Chains A and B, each alone.
Chain A
Amino acid sequence: MNKNKRQIDQTLNKIDREYNLTMAKLNKVHQDFFNFIKEHREVKDKERLNKLRKDILNK
C-alpha cells in the first residue's frame, strides 16, 4: 500500500515537473513575443512622433 502510494507520488511529481517546465517554456515564448511587440511598437511610435514633429516644424 505504502509502496504504491509512493509510486503514485513520484509519478505525480514527475507530471508536475513536466507541467511546470512546459509552462515555463510557454511563458518564455510568450515573454519573448511581448518583448518583441513592445520593441516593435516603441520603434513605430518614435518614428511616428519624429514624423509628426517634423511635420509641425515644417509648417
Chain B
Amino acid sequence: MIKSNFSKEPNKISRFIDKHEIENIEDLNNYKKKKLEKIKEKADDILWEVESYKEEGAEGLSDDERGRIDQYILQLKKIMENINSKLNIEDEEKDNSSENFNEKLRELGENTDGFQELSGGQQSLVLENFKQLFLSNIKEGAQKNYKQELGESKFLGKILKGILKNYKIADLEKKEAKESFKLESETDKQIMEKLVQGMEAYGPEVKLGENGEIEIQYAGEWKNLNEEEQKTVDNFNKVATKYSHLSYEWSLDTSTKKQAKQFEAIKNEYEDAKGEIINLKKEKSIKKLEEKEEDALLYINKIDGQIQMNQFLNNNPEVEKELSNIKDQKIWKKALTGVIRERGIYTAAGFITRSVTTAAIGAIAVPLAAAGIGGWRANVRAREGLKQNDINARHGQKDNSAQAKNVVDLGERSVQYRDNKNDADIVTVRKGLIGKIDKLINDIENARGAKKKELLDKLDIRLKYTQGKIDDGLVNFGKKEDKLNNQYLLIHKLSDVHILLQTNNFTERTFKNGKSIGSELEKLLNLKTRNISEERKKHIIKKTLIGAGISAGFASAGYLIRHFMGGHGLFDKSEVKDEISEVQKIVEETKGSSITEEAKIDSTEAIKKTGIFSTIKKNYEESDLNNEGSAPEVSEETVEVDATGDSLKAEQLKIDPATGAVLKYDAHGNLLSSSEIDSAGVDLEEFEADGVTPIVTPEITAATELGISENISNNEEVTPDTMAKLLALKGRSDGNVDDILENNDSCAVIEKGEGVSQALGEFEDSNMQATVINPDGTRIEGDINLAHTGDTVIQKDGEIYIFKTSGVEVSKDDSLANAWIKVTEEKLGRELTSEEIDQFDGEDGKLEWNEAKALHDKLTSEKPEVVVENTPSVEDQAALEEKIQDLQTNQEEHVIPDKPSAEDLDTSMEAEVDTSDDLADTEHVVPDKPSAEDLDTSMEAEVDTSDDLADTENMTAGKPDAEDLEESMNAGVDQSKIYEQFFNNENASAMSKLNNETSGDVIIRLGRPIEMKSSDGFFVKVDGFRFTGEDNTGRHFEYFKVGKNDPSEEVIFKLTENDSGNGINNIEIKGYDDIDNTEHVIPDKPDTEDLEASMEAGVENLNQGDTNSQLTNSDYSNVILKAEVNNDLEALGKELKLDVDGAEVEIDHLRLVSKAGAKENGEITKHFIARDIDGKEYSLTTKEHWRQEPAWDDSDKSSYVNDGVIKYDVKEIVNDKGN
C-alpha cells in the first residue's frame, strides 16, 4: 500500500505560532499580535474592496446605495480603529506624506558621503534616480510576495488569487510601500551611496532649468570658452537633451507621419549642433595636432552612443505609466506624483541608471561588434599613396579632370544629364554614399527571403566599394566646416552596415555547440523558466538584438575611428599599420576605460544583465564567428569593445552581481582591485550579528557556504553534484538557495501545469529516462513522469536529472500512483482518504497510466469539497454564536462565558496581554447578528463571491452573466456537472475581464481539453496550443503551451498594453497535433463569443435545427462531453474510445459528416467519421435527446438542454485499400 507522503501546506491559522509552544508572556504577546495583524490584514483587504467598488467599480450608484457603502466603510473602519489601538499603530499616512518622504529622501542623501560635494543639479538627479529605483524595487518585491502567497495557498485559493491577481499585486505594492517608505533599510543606504559614487565618478554635469527641469550636460566640461563658444556648447546640451528624449521607434518606418516629422526636425537640429561641437572639440582638443581629429570623433561617438541608447530605452515602460498602474494611489499620489507634476523630468532622471543598462547592452553587443570589425578587416586592403589631386578633391575642391572622376560625394548632389534623344538637359539629384547605403538598408528591412539575401549581397558590395573609395581617398567630404561631421557620419554608417550584415548572419548562425544566438539570449535573459509565450520571447530577443546592434554600431565605429585616424589624420596614411599591434595599443590605451566608471552604479536590472558578459564572451570564443570568413588571423578574441568603442580585456573584468562594481582579475582569476571588495566579500556572520540585513545576493550567500563561484546563477557549470549540495541547503529560512534553484539558467523549476518538457522548453518523450534525486539524497533511475510541480530539472549531456525540490519523495515503483494522487489531491483541494489511495494502488499494485487517469477523472468529477481557509471549528462556531447572543442581550456585560480569569494572571502579564473587550464594542454596528449559518455563508463568500467581484459589469449585452449561466445550467443537471460549471463560471468572468481589464493577466481554465479541426475536416486531438490575438485597440495577449492539454490547464492571457479595450478580435488559436506536431488553426477567426463558447464545455450552443451546416468547434465538444456524462462513449480525458464489436478502439480524429433533426423536435442525429490511431475509419452515429428549459431571465425565451448522447452506433468502414 502506498502512503501519500506529500507535504501539506499548513493552514493559515496554524502558521502563526504553534499554541503548544507558547511558554511565556512574550510568546503570548506575539501570538496575540499576529492574530491582530491577521485581522487587520483582512479588514484592510475588505476595506480596499469596498472603497474600490465605490470609487470605480460601480456605475450609476444612487445616493442611497452610496450611503450603504459608506455604512460598510464605517463599520470596517471602526473595527480597524479598534485593532489599531491594540496594535499601537501610529497613523502611517502621516509618515508617508510627500513632504515627509522627500524630507527623508533628502536626509538620506545628505547623510551620504560625497552628496554635499555634488552640484545642485547632480543632487537632484541622484534623488530622482533613487526614486526610480525605489519604485522598481517595490514593484519587484510585491511580485515576489505575491508568488510566495500563491505558493502557500490551497487549490481554490489559487484560482481566486489568479483571478484577483491584478488587485492583489496592487494591494501588496501598497503594503510593501508602507514598509519601504521609511527609507531606513540598509539597502536604501547602499543604493544611495552607489548613486552618489556613480555621480561623482561618472557624473554628467547637470543643470537645473528655470522650471526645475534637468538638463544633462552631454557636452561635458569645457575650459577657456569665449561667449560665442559657450553658446555653442549650451545649445548642444539643450538640443542633445531634447533629442535624447525622443523615442527610437519614431525613427523607424512604423512611426506615424507626425512622429517622423517631429523626429526629423529635432534630429536635424541635433545634427547641426553636433557639427558645431565636433569642430569646437577639435579646436579645443589638448591632444597633439595630428590626434585632434581622432579625439573629436571619439568624443562625439561616445555622446552620440549615449543619446541613441537613451532613445532606444525610452520605449521601456515609463515611470509615470507604472505609477498609474498602482490601484491604491493614495500613497503614491502624495509622495511621488506630486513630484512628477512639479517637474517633468523622468526621462532625464533615467540617465544614470540607463548608462548601466547601456553598458549591459554593450556587453551583449560585444560579439556583434567584434564580428563587425572582423568583417571590416577582411575588406581592408593596403592602398597606395594618394595623389595630390585626390587630396584636394576630398577637401571640397571638385577636380573636374578625367583622372579624378572617381571621386564620390558623401551627401546628395544635383547632377545634370544631357538627354540626347529628347535634346534636353535633365537635372536630377544623385544620392551620395550615405544616401545609397541608407536606401539599401531600408530596402533590406522591408524585404524577405531571397530578395533580402540579394539585397544583403548588394549591401556587402556597396560596403566594399565605399571602403575602397575611402581607402583610396576618393570621397568628397564637403567643406571644411562640415568635413569632420561628415567623416563621422560615414564612419558610423559603415559601422552600422557591418553590424547589419553580421546581425543578419547572426540570427541564422549557430555557435559551435549548436545553439543559436537566439537561444543563448533566451537563456541569458532568463526567458526559459518564465511562463511567457514563444512569440513574446522572440519579441524580447529581437528587441535586445536591436539594442545590441545599435550599441555594437557605436562600438565598432569607435574602433574604426581609432583604426583610421591612427594619429595621422583621416585617410592620409599610405598604408595600414600592423593591425595586431594597433589593436593591442588600443587595449593598453583604454585600460580602466569609462565603462568601469559607469558600471559602478547600482541597478538591479542592469546588473543581472551584465552577468551575461562573460557567457557571451565565452560562447563567442567557442563559436565559429571569430575565425570564420575572410577575416585575417588577428588576435581579435582578446579585444572586447564596450558600448562606446573603448576596448577592454573581458577576462580581467567581472561585474559583481551584488553591487554592480567592476572587479578586476588577473589572468589567473585573482582579484586585483580592492576598492569594491568590501561590498562583494562581506563577512556575512558579522553583518548578521549586528542585526543588519546585508545587501548580498542569494548567490553570494549560498556560494560562500558551498565554496562555489558567486555568480552561479549565470554559470553553466551547475553539475548534479552542485545541485545536490544546494538541495542539502534548501529550505533555509532566508530562501536563498531556493532562489538559486529557481533562477539558475541551466535548470528549471517545474511550475504548476507543466511537465519536464515545458520546463526544459524541449519536447521530451514521456517515457524518457531520468535520474531522480530525492530530498534525502537517494538516487533512483526512473522516467520523467516522476517529476512534480516544484521540482527542479536539469538536462546535462542529454541526460535528465530531476531534483525533488518539491519535497515529494518518490521511489521507482510507486511513482505513477503517487503522481496521480498528488494531482488528484491538488485538484480536489483535500487529502484523499485511505480507501481512495488504495484505489490508486490497483489490484496488482500497479495501475497503468490510463487507469490512473480514469480514476483521477472519476474522483475529480465528483463535487469538489470546498475547503475554506480559516473556518472556525464547529466548537468555535458554537462558542461564537453563544458569545454573540450574549453580547446582544446584554451589551454592558463584557463577560466572556468561560472567564479568562484575568485576576489569576500575573499582573505584569495582565498589563501586557490583557485584551479588553474592545473588540466587542463595535457590535452595535453590525445590523443583525451573524448566526452560525451566516458565518458559513460569509465564509463561503470569501471563496465564491470573489468571482462576482472579478466579474466586471460590462458583460456582453444580452449574454447571461456567469451567475445566470450557472442558474440556467443548474436546473436538473446532475452533480458531476457542477464542477465543470465552476470553471465555466470562472471562464465567463475571465472572458469578461479580458474584455475590460487593461493590463495584467487574465486566467481562463479550460475545463476540458481543446480539440481542433484539421485542414481535412477532421477534429484532432492537440497536444499543445497557442492563443494569440489582439483587441480592437491593439492590446495584445497570448498564451502558448506545448505538450500538455489537460482540463486543469489555465490559459493565462497576458495583456501587454495599457489601453482600455472593448471586444476581442483577431484571435488565432493554433493547435499542435500530438502525433506529428502538425499545426492546426481554428479556421475562422473567432470573436470573443466563439472563444467563450469553445471553452464553455457543456454550454449548449448548437445551432437550432441547422442541418448539415458548417460545424464549430463546440459541436465536437458537445459530443465528447455528453459522452463523458453518459458514459455511453468511453471518453478518457482527451481520449475518445469507441466500442467496436466489443473491442476498444482509440479514436484520434473525428469528423462530423451530417446532422439531422432539431432541438425543437427533441432529437438530433449526427453522423461522424472517426479515425483511429492506425488510420482505420469508422462510421459513428449518435443520437442526442433535447428538452426545453424555462428561460434564465424573465423573458419568454426558453432554452434547450441536451440530455446527452443516448445511443450510438459504430461500424468500421472498409475501403478499397482493405483497411
Contacts and interface: CB of A to CB of B under 8 A. Distances in A.
Contacts of A26: 39, 42-43, 46, 76, 79
A37 to B, nearest CB: 6
Contacts of B884: 21, 24
A14 to B, nearest CB: 4
Nearest to B901: A10
Contacts of B75: 29
A33 B39 contact: no
Q: Count chain B CB atoms within 10 A of each CB in A24, A36, A52 and give the residue with the most.
A: A24
B1126 interface: no
A33 B42 contact: no
A44 to B, nearest CB: 7
Given A20-B876, A27-B935, A27-B942, A32 B919 contact: no
Interface string A14-33: 11111111111111111111
Interface string B945-979: 10011000100011001011000000000000000
B65 A27 contact: no
Given A13-B898, A15-B35, A22 B937 contact: no
Q: Count chain B CB atoms within 10 A of each CB in A21, A32, A48 and give the residue with the most.
A: A21
A3 B935 CA distance: 35
Contacts of A23: 39, 42, 870, 872
A45 B883 contact: no
Contacts of A33: 46, 49-50, 53, 69, 72
A30 B900 contact: no
A28 B930 contact: yes
A15 B31 contact: yes
A13 B35 CA distance: 12
Contacts of B896: 14, 17
A30 to B, nearest CB: 5
Interface string A28-59: 11111110111011001110110011000000
B631 interface: no
B941 A27 contact: yes
A12 to B, nearest CB: 6
Contacts of B76: 26, 29
B797 interface: no
A32 B72 CA distance: 8
Given A14-B896, A22-B79, A32-B927, A45 B1195 contact: no
Contacts of A53: 1195
B847 to A, nearest CB: 42
B22 interface: yes
Contacts of B922: 25
B31 A30 contact: no
Contacts of A28: 926, 930, 934-935, 938
Contact of B58 (A8, A16, A40): A40
Contacts of A24: 872, 880, 884, 930, 935, 938
A14 B879 CA distance: 11
Given A14-B900, A22-B919, A26-B46, A44 B953 contact: yes
Given A21-B920, A29-B926, A37 B949 contact: yes
Contact of B915 (A14, A25, A30): A14
A18 B957 contact: no
B915 A15 contact: yes
Nearest to B913: A11
Contacts of A32: 72, 927
Interface in B467-513: none
Contacts of B31: 12, 15
Interface string B59-72: 11100010011001
B926 A7 contact: no
Given A15-B35, A33-B49, A21 B28 contact: no
Contacts of B58: 37, 40
Given A28-B934, A28-B938, A40-B58, A34 B945 contact: yes
A26 B939 CA distance: 10
A11 B915 CA distance: 9
B455 to A, nearest CB: 56
B32 interface: yes
Contacts of B957: 48-49, 52
Contacts of A7: 901, 904-906, 909
Given A17-B879, A33-B50, A36-B68, A11 B905 contact: yes
A53 to B, nearest CB: 7
Nearest to A32: B72
B1193 interface: yes
A48 B46 CA distance: 28
B79 A27 contact: no
A19 B879 CA distance: 12
Contacts of B948: 34, 37-38, 41
Interface in B5-31: 19, 22-23, 28, 31
B38 interface: yes
B198 to A, nearest CB: 48
Contacts of A41: 948, 953, 961
Contacts of B934: 28, 31
A29 B46 contact: yes
B50 A15 contact: no
A16 B36 CA distance: 10
A10 B355 CA distance: 62
B83 interface: yes
Contact of A12 (B28, B938, B945): B28
Contact of A18 (B72, B915, B927, B1193): B915
A40 B50 CA distance: 14
Contact of B938 (A16, A20, A27): A27
Contacts of B958: 49, 52
Interface in B75-133: 75-76, 79, 83
A23 B899 CA distance: 21
Contact of B46 (A30, A36, A52): A30
Contacts of A8: 22-23, 28
Contacts of A3: 904
A31 B904 contact: no
A25 B79 contact: yes
A37 B72 contact: no
A55 to B, nearest CB: 10
Interface string B40-51: 001100100110
B904 A40 contact: no
A20 B938 CA distance: 13
Contacts of B1193: 46, 49
Contacts of A48: 957
Given A14-B900, A17-B883, A22 B927 contact: no
A16 B937 CA distance: 21
B60 A11 contact: no
A24 B887 CA distance: 14
Contacts of B60: 44
Contact of B83 (A13, A22, A34, A44): A22
Given A11-B28, A29-B75, A52-B957, A16 B59 contact: no
10 nearest A-B pairs in the assembled complex, by CB-CB distance: A27-B938, A31-B938, A14-B900, A28-B930, A34-B945, A19-B35, A18-B919, A31-B941, A10-B900, A15-B32
17 contacts: A3-B904, A7-B901, A14-B915, A17-B876, A19-B36, A20-B872, A20-B876, A24-B872, A25-B930, A26-B79, A27-B939, A29-B75, A31-B934, A32-B927, A40-B58, A41-B961, A49-B958
Given A17-B876, A27-B941, A38-B945, 6 more contacts: A8-B22, A16-B35, A16-B876, A20-B876, A21-B883, A22-B919
